[in-house]
Amino acid sequence: MSGVRGVAILGSTGSIGRSTLDVIARHPDRYRVSSLGAWRSWETIVEQAQRFRPDAVILADPAAAAKAREALRACGLAARVESGVDALAAAVAEPGVDMVMAAIVGAAGLMSTLAAVRAGKRVLLANKESLVMSGRLLMDEVHAAGAVLIPIDSEHNAIFQCMPASYLPGEAARGVTNVILTASGGPFRTTDAALLAHVSPQQACAHPKWSMGRKISVDSATLMNKGLEIIEATWLFGLPESRVDVVVHPQSVVHSLVQYADGSVLAQLGAPDMRTPIAQALAWPDRIASGVQSLDLTAVARMDFEAPDHGRFPSLGLARAAARAGGTAAALLNAANEVAVQAFLDGRLNFTGIAAVIDEVLQRLESCAVTALGDVLDADAAARRLAAVVIEPARGASA
């Protein structure tokens, strides 16, 4: 790559979005921000626009977009301000955009991620939910459009870094037998099963190693994050679920590993800071500074590895079953999870209720074959409706 590359950052006000801006700010000779997109945090996006001078600012929420427009005009900035999902999708396809950071949380990121892929951009994929939902469809679009999909999720980025030179996600790599995802175990790794029903959203969001948005923090606490990552890995690395292993590694220093046919196991190590995978994906195949300090191995001192506890964390098994079922099962799982996590954060469902709701939705809704995007969107909508119904009577039980 030569010249300054334009980067569209969707989800710019979130944890990944802010880390991306932090890396970009260190390399004005390499990157410029072409557009910033988010939901409704207009004050934050206006501050970001003042600093990074994008061509466009997009807020999904029209009222927030109106406020941002007024504020940007008042400070004399020429950035276009737009609103709505279609505007997010249009912004990523613009000619001045070379790379798209897809860092909207949840299914809300699906259409803009797909648009970036269809436009043949380099897509830096943080929004794992879009790949979990649309799996084969999204990967087919990657191949058809000649897009380059680079995982930002630290585990998948680690695996990408351990793959043979010239490997690009989307197919099985020669000689690779298995990939091993590491999991920190989350804040409840050692919590007694009997106490899990009573943990609060605040406790669930207090991750021991990573600082992240609230939805992924809860997913890390239930281990559904690892479940979604198993499904994500099957699509990115062309492997069946049975060849995607999970090991709990509380220090979060080894970010994941790749096993080869000759017995070699390659791992990527680093501090638990998302600026490393972000910088790797922005600069690939080059390497640039990310602001993250190198690892001090003597300070790390020891690394532990243990098997995950499927009894206390049933989400892992639910995700594996959805991966095996194929079709719309993963979209059903993802949607039920999003609704259940929101209910937990709102105090309408207890922690162990999250997996119970997903289980019930998966038992009551049949997985169908996916032939078009509509199948995925229909499954998503049906699972959301049913999850809401399942949660409603659970309210009393969780009080």
Residue 129 touches which of Mg ion, ligand NAD, none (CB < 5 to 8 A by kind)? Answer: ligand NAD
User: Rounded CA gap, 190 and 118, in Å?
Assistant: 44
Question: Helix, strand or coil for residue 248?
Answer: strand
Q: Tell me which of ligand NAD, Mg ion, none is bound by residue 360, counting a contact when its beta carbon lies within the kind-specific cut-off of 5 to 8 angstroms.
A: none
Nearer to ligand NAD, 213 or 238 (CB): 213
| Residues in contact with ligand NAD, shown as a per-residue x/- string from 7 to 36 under the rule CB under 6 A | ----xxxxxxx-------------------
Indicate which of Mg ion, ligand NAD, none lies near residue 133 (CB less than 5 to 8 Å, by partner kind). Answer: none
Q: Is 82 in the site for ligand NAD (CB under 6 A)?
A: no
| By the rule CB under 6 A, 232 interacts with ligand NAD | no
Contact code string over 95-114 relative to ligand NAD, x by CB under 6 A: --------xxx--x------
Taking the complex as a whole, the smallest distance from the CB of residue 181 to Mg ion amounts, in Å, to 8
Phi-psi region of 245 (alpha: psi -120 to 50; beta: other; left: phi over 0): beta
Stretch that binds ligand NAD, among 66-74, 120-128, 296-304, 312-320 (CB under 6 A): 120-128
Q: Which two tokens stand for residue 208?
A: 């021991």
Contacted entry of ligand NAD, Mg ion, none for residue 275, CB cut-off 5 to 8 Å set by kind: none
Cα dist from 221 to 46, 229, 242, 313, 357, whole Å = 33, 14, 23, 9, 16
| Rounded Cα distance, 161 and 23, in Å | 19
- With beta carbons less than 8 A apart as the criterion, state whether 357 and 336 touch: yes
Structure tokens at 352: 């162990």
Token pair in block for residue 160: 């990408």
Q: How far apart are CA 72 and CA 66, in angstroms?
A: 10
From Mg ion, ligand NAD, none, interface partner of 55 (C-beta below 5 to 8 A by class) = none
Rounded (5°) CA angle 377-9-255: 85
Considering only CA atoms, which of 341, 339, 336 is closest in space to residue 322?
Answer: 336
Residue 201 near ligand NAD by CB under 6 A: no
Q: Which residues bind Mg ion (CB under 5 A)?
A: 153-155
227 binds ligand NAD (CB under 6 A): no
| 99 token code pair | 């790379």
Tell me the one-letter amino acid at 164.
P
Closest CB 362 distance from ligand NAD, rounded Å: 20
Residue 139, contacted partner among Mg ion, ligand NAD, none, CB below 5-8 A by kind: none
Please provide the size of the chain in residues: 399
Task: List the single partner that 260 binds among ligand NAD, Mg ion, none, CB under 5 to 8 Å by kind.
Answer: none
Q: Which residues bind ligand NAD (CB under 6 A)?
A: 11-17, 38-39, 41, 60, 103-105, 108, 126-129, 153, 210, 212-213, 215-216, 274
